[in-house]
């Protein structure tokens, strides 16, 4: 058994000890682990970082009640099990000091060096940006961390150890936070661990996430597995003995280990194949570890001579390794009593990589050529991340592409030169083309699969020989986005389409803005650069082209931008450049003009417009309560007025208090309909036992005159006690209140 796997499985008890002992004691778990491979000088630096972090976190506690320093020590313990180098251990001990204490990155650089400071910076979350949602912040933090990981893979190794310890102590969190963190772990961190070949961490993260996401299912399966383990103990013992005797007969040096499927793997198989637990026969398996590659195939022949193999259940991951470097022979045999037996056969080097993945670089100091190849593959994957992020302006989009790239299942296809290429299951010929090279993807027009022409949307199958046909003037097709699955293909296609769209939209936007400026008796060339700079700052735009593009795409109103450009003329006494006093808002809501949900203005209401860099022009009523809460630049507020000619229906919230009688909703609905109005939403508040009830309606009206007429008609209903137009909160908030 590899030292990493053995120590990792002991990690929970070791971490409990770590929480009780100072890390710099001779008998502490951290000291015990680092003494195995660090020099005395390096150990002193680890202790120095520990004491520094302990002082910085002094007085802070975790949700579990322990001093906060126990968490970075536990993270360092996990990494020390993997024999990670000194800078990584120092970063593990210091990974929260910049985010949670008064310490800054410059101080860490001075004390521990730039390498450690860079690792800590890659692990530190971004500062909260004003008006940024929690989801946006989460996506942007992922982006920052993954880009740091592309520079140095040790960033993600520390982050995975950090997440593992957080998951091991998640019981102290509120249930809703437990589920959120568990979902994030299942979707992002467990697949990253799998992609990097860190199998023990991958399986533990999955099982812990499963425990918090589906606690009842976890308990049921866990209990059933323990019962099955006891029932099958005798059978498993006989199979193990038979395998050992067979390998001795063939004079093969071996180590045989029993292997039990992880709980989440069992649950996933039950869900995917609609099976009951009693129908899953491969819960227990065996792992045979031999000397070298030749012995792997000899052991396979020996076991096939002992028990008959099940057709179609053999996989050779030695000849064609998985993308994360994993190698093994997998076979399923008919055992005694008709019990299927899953067996994995691998060499010692393969076993080391299967346990430690990219961390094998630090854990096993060997000249293994396959380990070097694994490092190259990992580097290529990380570079693909950099490519994707450079073409993804949006952090959501980057995260989406990244998730797609964390594929758990691959198909293996051959290039015309006979090279093997791994792609996610479901990949098409277009995905293959972009995997070969971006230029090949951008210019592909057809594909030959096994020497026969096929559509570009054809899905790849294991063993396909694929040849892409290109043309010099070919361009990516927007329809490809409907069937490509890899992050690289999707990001390159989107980037190309955006580039073309941006250029065309910017030209259209410039023409629209010029028309708006001339309507204000100003020639476009008369707008000074400082006026453009002011508007760019207001909108948060980096370039003038970005604003013109938004106008062309309909995200901004050309008249509104023209008004802003002229709000501060280059020459204050120049009457020629005096702006209009108001902007007329037409009775249709587009992407550039939105009506605030808090007050729902309708024609006839006095209104103000506020320029929001993300939403465009947002219209509020003069008396909207939300306006008082905005501490914003008054120059971003515009006087706006309704156009006299409008035919659109606008939403209004009404709260109606009625006598609690049968058929009241039907009466009110009938009256609203007869008043030429529509009902958009309705909700009845919980009754407090009195004879009155409150009913919340969202109705559609043309203007204030129409609303007044509707209210008059509703008052004619004898059982209606009170009618209020609700401003400041939505119907959903009304229900909550």
Residues facing 683 on adjacent strands: 696
How many angstroms separate the Cα of 561 from the Cα of each of 282, 313, 465, 595, 621?
Answer: 66, 65, 55, 18, 21
100 a catalytic residue: yes
Identify which of 505, 509, 501, 628 has the alpha carbon closest to the alpha carbon of residue 560. Answer: 509
How far apart, in whole angstroms, are the C-alpha atoms of residue 77 and residue 82?
9
Residue 12: Cβ within 10 Å count: 12
DSSP 126: P
Structure tokens at 24: 């710099």
How far apart, in whole angstroms, are the C-alpha atoms of residue 220 and residue 227?
11
Structure tokens at 273: 């194949």
Structure tokens at 223: 């209990």
Are 597 and 621 contacting, i.e. CB atoms less than 8 angstroms apart? no
DSSP 428: B
SS3 125: coil
Task: Sheet with 607-612: list strands edge to edge.
Answer: 583-585, 637-642, 607-612, 616-621, 593-595
272 a catalytic residue: no
SS3 365: coil
Identify which of 304, 309, 313, 348 has the alpha carbon closest to the alpha carbon of residue 327. Answer: 348
How far apart, in whole angstroms, are the C-alpha atoms of residue 53 and residue 44?
14
Beta-carbon contacts of 736 under 8 Å, excluding residues fewer than 6 positions away, are none
SS3 412: strand
How far apart, in whole angstroms, are the C-alpha atoms of residue 44 and residue 26?
12
Are 146 and 384 contacting, i.e. CB atoms less than 8 angstroms apart? no
Are 605 and 651 contacting, i.e. CB atoms less than 8 angstroms apart? no
Structure tokens at 60: 């802070």
Residue 516: Cβ within 10 Å count: 20
Beta-carbon contacts of 456 under 8 Å, excluding residues fewer than 6 positions away, are 428, 429, 430, 444, 446, 447, 480
DSSP strand pairing (452-454 vs 466-470): unpaired
Find the catalytic residue in 100, 255, 503, 574.
100
Query: If you count DSSP H runs as helices and E runs as strands, how many of each does the chain have, helices first?
Result: 32, 19
Find the catalytic residue in 41, 42, 99, 709.
99
Residue 494: Cβ within 10 Å count: 20
Q: What is the 3-state secondary structure (H, E, C) of 623-674?
A: CCHHHHHCCCCHHHEEEEEECCCCCCCEEEEEEEEEECCCCHHHHHHHHHHH
How far apart, in whole angstroms, are the C-alpha atoms of residue 372 and residue 290?
21
DSSP assignments along 286-348, one per residue: EEEEESSHHHHHHHHHHHHHHSPBPTT--EETTTS--TT----EEEEEE-GGG-EEEEEEEEH
DSSP 572: T
How many angstroms separate the Cα of 292 from the Cα of each of 170, 316, 389?
Answer: 42, 15, 41
Are 303 and 314 contacting, i.e. CB atoms less than 8 angstroms apart? no
The catalytic residues are 99-100
């Amino acid at each position: 058994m590899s030292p990493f796997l053995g120590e990792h499985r002991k990690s929970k008890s070791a971490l409990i000890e770590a929480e009780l002992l100072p890390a710099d004691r001779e008998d502490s778990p951290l000291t015990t682990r680092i003494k195995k491979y660090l020099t005395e000088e390096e150990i002193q630096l680890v202790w120095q970082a520990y004491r520094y972090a302990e002082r910085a976190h002094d007085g802070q506690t975790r949700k579990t009640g322990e001093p906060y320093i126990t968490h970075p020590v536990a993270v360092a313990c996990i990494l020390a099990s993997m024999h990670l180098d000194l800078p990584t251990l120092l970063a593990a001990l210091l990974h929260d000091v910049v985010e949670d204490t008064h310490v800054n990155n410059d101080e860490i650089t001075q004390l521990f060096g730039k390498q450690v400071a860079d690792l800590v910076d890659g692990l530190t979350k971004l500062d909260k940006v004003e008006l940024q949602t929690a989801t946006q912040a989460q996506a942007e933090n992922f982006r920052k961390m993954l880009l740091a990981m592309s520079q140095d893979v040790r960033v993600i190794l520390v982050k995975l150890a950090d997440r593992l310890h957080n998951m091991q102590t998640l019981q102290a969190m509120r249930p809703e936070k437990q589920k959120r963190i568990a979902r994030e772990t299942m979707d992002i961190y467990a697949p990253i661990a799998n992609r990097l070949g860190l199998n023990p961490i991958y399986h533990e993260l999955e099982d812990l996430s499963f425990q918090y996401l589906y606690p009842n299912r976890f308990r049921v399966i866990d209990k059933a597995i323990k019962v099955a383990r006891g029932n099958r103990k005798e059978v498993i013992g006989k199979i193990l003995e038979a395998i050992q005797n067979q390998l001795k007969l063939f004079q093969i040096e071996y180590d045989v280990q029993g292997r039990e499927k992880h709980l989440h793997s069992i649950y996933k198989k039950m869900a995917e194949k609609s099976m009951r637990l009693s129908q899953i026969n491969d819960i227990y398996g065996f792992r045979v570890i031999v000397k070298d590659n030749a012995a792997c195939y000899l052991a396979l022949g020996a076991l096939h001579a002992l028990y008959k193999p099940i057709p179609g259940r053999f996989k050779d991951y030695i000849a064609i390794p998985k993308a994360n470097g994993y190698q093994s022979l997998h076979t399923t045999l008919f055992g005694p009593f008709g019990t299927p037996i899953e067996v994995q056969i691998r060499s010692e080097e393969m076993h080391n990589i299967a346990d430690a993945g990219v961390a094998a670089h630090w854990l096993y100091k060997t000249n293994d050529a396959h380990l070097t190849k694994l490092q190259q593959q990992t580097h290529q994957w990380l570079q693909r991340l950099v490519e994707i992020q450079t073409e993804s302006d949006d952090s959501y989009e980057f995260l989406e592409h990244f998730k797609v790239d964390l594929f758990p299942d691959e198909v293996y296809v051959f290039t015309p030169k006979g090279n093997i290429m791994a792609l996610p299951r479901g990949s098409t010929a277009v995905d293959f083309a972009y995997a070969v090279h971006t230029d090949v993807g951008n210019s592909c027009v057809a594909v030959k699969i096994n020497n026969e022409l096929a559509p570009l949307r054809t899905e790849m199958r294991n063993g396909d020989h694929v040849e892409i046909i290109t043309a010099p003037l070919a361009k990516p097709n927007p329809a490809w986005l409907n069937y490509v699955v890899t992050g690289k293909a999707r990001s390159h296609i989107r980037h190309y389409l955006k580039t073309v769209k941006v250029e065309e939209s910017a030209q259209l936007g410039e023409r629209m803005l010029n028309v708006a400026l001339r309507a204000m008796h100003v020639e476009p060339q008369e707008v000074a650069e400082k006026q453009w700079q002011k508007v760019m700052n207001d909108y948060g735009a980096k370039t003038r082209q970005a604003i013109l593009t938004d106008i062309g795409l309909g995200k901004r109103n050309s008249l509104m931008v023209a008004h802003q450009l002229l709000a501060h003329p280059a020459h204050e006494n120049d009457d020629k450049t005096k702006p209009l006093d108001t902007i007329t808002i037409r009775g249709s809501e587009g992407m550039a003009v939105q009506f605030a949900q808090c007050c729902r203005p309708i024609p006839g209401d006095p209104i103000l417009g506020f320029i929001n860099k993300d939403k465009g022009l947002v219209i509020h009523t003069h008396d909207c309560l939300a306006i008082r809460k905005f501490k914003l630049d008054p120059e971003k507020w515009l006087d706006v007025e309704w156009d006299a000619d409008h035919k659109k229906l606008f939403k209004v919230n009404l709260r109606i208090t009625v006598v609690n009688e049968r058929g009241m909703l039907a009466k009110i609905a009938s009256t609203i309909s007869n008043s030429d109005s529509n009902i958009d939403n309705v909700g009845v508040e919980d009754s407090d036992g009195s004879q009155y009830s409150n009913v919340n309606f969202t109705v559609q009206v043309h203007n204030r005159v129409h609303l007044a007429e509707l209210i008059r008609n509703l008052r004619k209903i004898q059982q209606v006690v009170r009618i209020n137009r609700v401003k400041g909160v939505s119907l959903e908030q009304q229900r909550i209140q």
